[in-house]
Amino acid sequence: MEMPAPNQAILGLKDRLVARLQTVLPADAVIHDQAETRAYECDALTAYKCPPLCAVLPSSTQEVSDVLRICHEMGVPVVPRGAGTSLAGGALPTADSVILGVARMTEVLETNYDDRFVRVQTGRTNLSVTGAVEADGFFYAPDPSSQLACAIAGNIAMNSGGAHCLKYGVTTNNLLGVTMVMMDGTVVELGGAHMDAGGLDLLGLICGSEGQLGVVTEATLRILPKPEGARPVLMGYDSNEVAGQVVSDIIKAGVLPVAIEFMDRPCIRATEAFAKAGYPDCEALLIVEVEGSDAEIDEQLGLITQIARRHNPVELRESTSAEESARIWLGRKSAFGAMGQINDYMCLDGTIPVSQLPFVLRRIGEMSKEYGLDVGNVFHAGDGNMHPLILFDANKPGDLEKCEAFGADILRLCVEVGGCLTGEHGVGIEKRDLMVDQFAPDDLDIQMAVKDVFDPQWLLNPAKVFPLDASAKRRAA
Amino acid sequence: MMTPQTEAELAEMVGAAQGPLHVFGGGTRPIGRPVTGEALSLSALSGIVEYEPGALTLVARAGTPVAEIEAALAAEGQRLAFEPMDHRTLLGTEGAPTMGGVVAANVSGPRRVAVGAARDFLLGVRFVDGTGRVLKNGGRVMKNVTGYDLVKLMAGSYGTLGVLSEVSLKVLPQPEAVVTLTLHGVDAAGALEAMTRAITSPYEVSGAAYLPGDTPRVFLRIEGFAGSVAYRAAQLKTLLADLGQITQTDTPEESADQWRALRDVELLAGCANVWRVSMTPSALVDRLLPALGDALGPYQLDWAGGLCWLGADAGAGAADMHTRLQALVADPAINAGGGGHATLIKGDAGLRAQVPVFQPEPAPLAALTRGLREKFDPRGILNPGLMG
Ligand SMILES: Cc1cc2nc3c(=O)[nH]c(=O)nc-3n(C[C@H](O)[C@H](O)[C@H](O)COP(=O)(O)OP(=O)(O)OC[C@H]3O[C@@H](n4cnc5c(N)ncnc54)[C@H](O)[C@@H]3O)c2cc1C
């Protein structure tokens, strides 16, 4: 993945920049020592690394505004950062950029159960938002697997999803308002604690804009009353086709599970070796979870298992206790870790129409043989969001490049069958150059025109999302 | 009047336009500042392009009648879960509401409080911008974060950023059973208490509305599988027992009629002017309504108190009432940072030309809005001025 050459003039400004930043931030919030800036050289897409010019860790919206005003005046690019768990390289710095991390902004600012919202600083982690309200019977619905670590800031920037978004939606469906600082330091409020926009839906535009339109410092999030209970059922099938059919039948039957997760054989084997969850050795495994009171769960699981049986499962295991539920989820939750035990892996994130599932899995299997790289599939089947994990050896010359080419082919396949490049991880640098496969030049131009409005100098996270040649003129201007 | 038959024709017409265009679908929602311009009707750009019940997705051309889509969905036991309001009764209009119109005005009904708005069910759009370019964003899959989300931006932009040619939607199954509980004899504060208790309970209500007046009533809707609906109805009755007498509907038809009337705000159909106010429930019910004092006419609460429809008779006071409502919404003493907006939904063309129909935005947001319009419609020809 190519990154633009650093601007030499900006590199030369480092001392002056650091001095100015130190006038608006406490000394320990400006990190400029070369050894220390290394901590910010990458996010979870670790194949790409580059230490920034410096990193700042402001504690308030005002400090963020001060930092941005200075960078704006000096023409220095800024890369916003939450917890650095992006799998797309969204928070990857360039050598001539300032990393603006919100990790110190973790306060809960307001909790209002009657009006069902919580307002937090965006450095707060996803899980600790729920942590702040769960004693009172509430939760924040979007639940990325990285929820222990990832920050609300990154969730908003990537419009992150999670296992339970089939029922509750993704970040944008649960975000009511934000405080955002524009590149020139102006602070704006978008949305609020009410429902829907009164004019143009600028909040909807900000969510998923990958840190390119403004730095989000505070967020008002919708919270929901916790369901009385939840229980999964596990089913194994001999073929991906049949499992795909089961998913479609469940949806058509009018059940709306909170989650339908799918794992294929390579992934099942890897997780079994690693986590020993007791999964059957079969071609395709589904975990379907429903919520409600005990009786309601029984009613829904009854219907689901009835459908499951019609398709001759090799295994059907309905959870009847918390321990059993935990065991059923254990393998799924350790799937990424398990694959990581075997080798380095790259996690893809395309979405396809659910009906294309068997075809796409078959094609991925064929391509895996052609490329000579193993791949395991684990994904949110209810909404067609796939996560093929391609295994490669980072120490073997050429393997990363081969893996990237394979990944690109899979994503192009997703687009070809009517889907898209990314369902929840975002474009970042990883899928930047594939955007032309999904969008016509005009489709990209209108998106870049939006950035022109919010950040005319293209200083915020400039080398992401859009192919470098498509954005070159705008970045240079 | 221009009536393009294809998307390509639409693009050509917009590109060749020499002056302002008045873009509309079914013409059933004359909302916003009146637009003077050549009429551009989307009615001929009609038909369902693709419907995949097993994937819960439907793609339709913008001019497709909502009724046609609802019928196709019903045949598969599915529906538009955001329950779009039909404005004809309230506004006294005729014609067939179109899907593009629903999306362009981000029209949702009572179920919005539980499942989300039209914008939350909109997966993708194709549209023609003010220069005549055909553009697309989003797609037809349920999860998609590829590039900026212009889909949300197009929802509720009233045809001012682009002319929608095709929309793709997420749909949901129809429930097996539905029951409505009615709580009788409560004032607004009591209604808010009841709706709040219900919506913050785990018993999943899919509608919570209030009609004041001589026989004030709170309506709570419960949908799902039969056993579950019966269970949740019983739990809710216990939860609310101390607030007043509760009755329950006997048939699904009875429920459907009640919620259709609430959805379409039939109560206020006789009013000359109608406003729609969205704020937090406590700001709306505890502070805004009392602040109106004698000026408070007939009204209806929906979205568990987060939405209020206010009616008033014709008269010299309409412009003042409008100004006052928008000022109250912007007043930190009422709203304590919660945000919100008051929109004039019904009023004669004179009034709509005179007042800012949509809640005015603070200067930095107004600048962003203006900047976006200049990019999407540099010549300012798409429903110019409609949103202010
Ligand atoms: C093991 C693992 C599992 C994962 N599982 C999921 C999953 O299930 N679902 C899912 O959706 N994702 C998942 N992810 C991806 C990742 O966790 C999400 O994208 C997450 O939202 C990133 O949050 P972050 O705080 O770490 O953001 P970062 O990585 O720090 O940044 C991500 C993007 O947000 C921008 N950004 C950060 N802060 C701000 C701000 N204040 N204002 C504006 N922009 C900002 C950055 O510039 C960057 O573009 C997973 C990642 C890992 C490593």
Please give the radius of gyration of chain A, using alpha carbons only, rounded to the nearest integer. 23
What tokens does A264 get? 């294929």
Question: How does DSSP assign B204-217, residue by residue?
Answer: --SEEEEE-SSS-E
A359 CA: distance to closest CA in chain B (Å): 15
Model pTM score: 0.97
- Which residues make Cβ contacts (< 8 Å) with residue B262, sequence separation at least 6? B110, B207, B209, B211, B219, B300, B302
Q: Are B81 and B111 in contact (CB under 8 A)?
A: yes
d(CA B119, CA B162): 16
Q: Quick one: tokens of A174?
A: 């649960």
Asked if the model's pLDDT at residue A333 lies above 90, the reply is: no
Mean pLDDT across A243-251: 90
- pLDDT means over runs of 10, chain B (388 residues): 97 98 95 96 97 94 98 97 98 96 98 98 98 97 96 98 98 96 98 98 97 97 95 97 96 97 97 97 97 95 98 88 97 87 97 97 97 98 96
Chain-chain contact of A252 with B117 (C-beta, under 8 angstroms): no
Residue B133, Cα to own-chain centre: how many angstroms? 28
The pick from A56, A125, A158 for probing ligand 1's pocket by mutation, whose C-beta has the most ligand atoms within 8 angstroms, reads A158
pLDDT at site A477: 76
Pocket residue to mutate for ligand 1, from A61, A71, A146, A188, most atoms within 8 A of Cβ = A146
- Percent of chain A residues past pLDDT 90, beyond the cut: 86
Pairwise CA distance, residues B54 & A59, whole Å: 47
Q: Would you say A96 and A10 are in contact if contact means Cβ atoms under 8 Å apart?
A: yes
B366 lies in some domain = no
Whether the Cβ atoms of residue A100 and residue A91 lie closer than 8 Å to each other = no
Using an 8 Å CB-CB cutoff, list chain A residues near B73.
none
Q: Would you state the pLDDT for residue A341?
A: 84
In one letter, which amino acid is B12? E
- pLDDT the model gives residue A340: 82
- pLDDT at res. A248: 87
pLDDT-derived band at A425, boundaries 50, 70, 90: very high
Of A172, A228, A293, the CB nearest to B149: A172
**B47: phi then psi, degrees, rounded to nearest 5:** 125, 145
Ligand 1: distance of its center to the CA of B283 in Å? 34
Q: Identify each DSSP E strand in A363-477 by its residue range.
A: 375-380, 388-392
Q: Same domain for A94 and A153?
A: no
Q: What is the pLDDT of residue A410?
A: 97
Same-domain check for residues B159 and B188:
no
Same domain? For B45 and B116 the reply is yes
Q: Which residue of A has its CA nearest to B228?
A: A296
Question: If 0-12 CB within 10 Å is exposed, 13-18 middle and 19+ buried, where does residue B240 land?
Answer: buried
The number of domains in chain A is 5
Number of domains composing chain B: 3
Beta bridge partners of A236: A285, A315
B146, with CB counted inside 10 A (0-12, 13-18, 19+), is buried
The answer to whether residue B362 sits within a structural domain is no
Whether B154 and B196 map to the same domain: the answer is no
Residue B247 CB neighbours (<10 A) = 12
Q: How far apart are CA A383 and CA B92, in angstroms?
A: 40
* Whether residue A420 has pLDDT greater than 80: yes
pLDDT of the residue at B338? 74
One domain, residues A312 and A361: no
Domain C-terminal end among B173, B188, B203: B173
For all residues of chain A together, what is the average pLDDT?
Answer: 95
Detail the DSSP E strand segments found in A143-204.
175-181, 187-191
Size of interface A-B (CB pairs under 8 A): 278
Residue A257 Cα to ligand 1 midpoint, Å, equals 25
Task: Please check whether residue B88 lies inside any domain of the structure.
Answer: yes
A431 lies in some domain: no
CB A88 within 8 A of CB A430: yes
Residue B264's pLDDT is 98
Is residue A76 pLDDT above 80, yes or no?
A: yes
Does a structural domain hold residue B378?
Answer: no
**Together in a domain, B137 and B200:** no
**Same domain, residue pair B181 and B153:** no
How big is chain B by its Cα radius of gyration, in Å? 21
Question: Which residues contact residue A361 at a Cβ distance below 8 angstroms, ignoring those fewer than 6 apart?
Answer: A240, A264, A377
**pLDDT over threshold 80, residue A387:** yes
Pairing between β-strand A259-264 and β-strand A284-291 as defined by DSSP bridges: antiparallel
CATH code: domain of residue A91:
3.30.43.10
Question: Domain range holding A148?
Answer: 108-225
Shared domain check, B277 and B131: no
| Inside any domain, residue A16 | yes
* A334 domain-assigned: no
Token reading at A306:
């009835």
Residue in A closest to B364 by C-alpha: A188
- Which tens digit of pLDDT belongs to each residue from A120-135? 999 999 999 999 999 9
CATH code of residue B162: 3.30.465.10
Q: Is residue A269 part of a domain?
A: yes
Does the structure show a pLDDT above 90 at A163? no
Are the CB atoms for A24 and A15 separated by under 8 Å? no
For CA atoms A81, A196, A385, A116, the dihedral sign is positive
Domain harbouring A404, CATH code: 3.30.70.2740
CATH of the domain at B183: 3.30.70.260
Cα atoms in the Cβ-side hemisphere of radius 13 Å centred on A5: 2
d(CA A104, CA A99): 13
What pLDDT shows up at residue B67?
A: 98
CATH code for the domain in which residue B338 is found: 3.30.70
Residues A292 and A324 in one domain: yes
pLDDT digit string, tens, across residues A80-116: 999 999 999 999 999 999 999 999 999 999 999 999 9
Residues B162 and B382: beta-carbon distance below 8 Å: yes
Residue A246 and residue A252: Cα distance in Å, rounded?
A: 10
- Is A196–B278 a contact, with Cβ atoms under 8 angstroms apart? yes
Q: In the structure, what pLDDT confidence band is assigned to residue A61 with cuts at 50, 70 and 90?
A: very high
Q: How far from chain centre, in Å, is Cα A123?
A: 15
- Let me know how many helices (H) and strands (E) chain B has, helices first: 16, 17
Q: Is residue A19 one of the residues assigned to a domain? A: yes
CA distance A40 to A55: 7
- Do B186 and B194 touch, CB atoms closer than 8 A? yes
Put simply, the answer to whether B54 touches A207 (Cβ < 8 Å) is no
Residues with Cβ within 8 Å of residue A236, at least 6 apart in sequence = A279, A280, A282, A284, A285, A286, A313, A314, A315, A316
Q: At what angle do helices B226-240 and A294-310 cross, to 10 degrees?
A: 170
Q: Does residue B55 form part of some domain?
A: yes
pLDDT band at A454 (very low <50, low <70, confident <90, very high): very high
Backbone angles phi and psi of B159, in degrees to 5? 70, 15
B367 falls within a domain: no
Say if CB B158 and CB B107 are below 8 A apart: no
Tokens of B198: 């219900």
Residue B207 in tokens: 């509608």
Domain identity same for B140 and B232: no
DSSP designation for A460 = B
Query: For the domain that residue A290 is a member of, what is the CATH number?
Result: 3.30.70.3450
Domain span at B224 = 177-255
Confidence class for position A241, pLDDT limits 50, 70, 90: confident
Question: Does A113 map to a domain?
Answer: yes
Assess whether A116 and A214 both reside in one domain.
yes
Let me know if residue A420 belongs to a domain.
Answer: yes
Whole-number Å distance, alpha carbon A43 to ligand 1 midpoint, is 9
Give φ, ψ of A170 to 5 degrees: -100, -170
The residue type at A267? C
- Say whether the ipTM exceeds 0.90: yes
Of A47, A79, A101, the residue that ends a domain is: A101
What residues have CB less than 8 Å from B353, skipping those under 6 apart?
B33, B34
- Domain limit, last residue, from B173, B191, B221: B173
Instruction: Please give the single-letter amino acid code of residue B183.
Output: L
What's the confidence (pLDDT) of residue A339? 83
Asked if A288 and A395 sit in the same domain, the reply is: no
Last residue of a domain, one of A57, A77, A101: A101
- Which chain B residues are within 8 Å of A351, Cβ to Cβ? 139, 141-144
Q: Are residues A65 and A131 in the same domain?
A: no
Amino acid (1-letter code) at residue A433: D
Cα(B79)–Cα(B146) distance, rounded to whole angstroms? Answer: 27
Give the end of a domain, one of A86, A101, A116: A101
B220 and B99 in a common domain: no
Residues B309 and B220 in one domain: no
**What one-character-per-residue DSSP string does A135-148 give?**
GGTEE-----TTTT
Q: Within this chain, do residues B139 and B39 fall inside the same structural domain, yes or no?
A: yes
- Are both A267 and A315 inside the same structural domain? yes
Give the model's pLDDT for residue A336: 82
CA of B257 to the centre of ligand 1 (A): 45
Q: Measured in angstroms, how far is the CA atom of residue A378 from the centroid of ligand 1?
A: 19
Is residue A338 scored above 90 in pLDDT?
Answer: no
Are residues B91 and B13 part of one domain?
A: yes
Q: Cβ B358–A440 below 8 Å, yes or no? A: no
- Note whether B167 and B181 are same-domain residues: no
Q: State if residue A154 touches ligand 1 by the CB under 6 angstroms criterion.
A: yes
Residue A1 within any structural domain of the chain? no
CB B322 within 8 A of CB B388: no
CA distance A397 to A408: 19
What does DSSP say about strands A54-56 and A98-101: parallel, antiparallel, or unpaired? parallel
Q: In sequence order, what are the beta bridge partners of A187? A: A181
B130 within a domain of the structure (yes/no):
yes
pLDDT at A303: 94
pLDDT for the residue numbered A464:
98
Task: Check pLDDT > 80 for residue A475.
Answer: yes
- Rounded distance, CA A445 to CA A431, Å? 17
Q: Within a domain: residue B363?
A: no
Which of B173, B204, B220 is the last residue before a domain boundary? B173
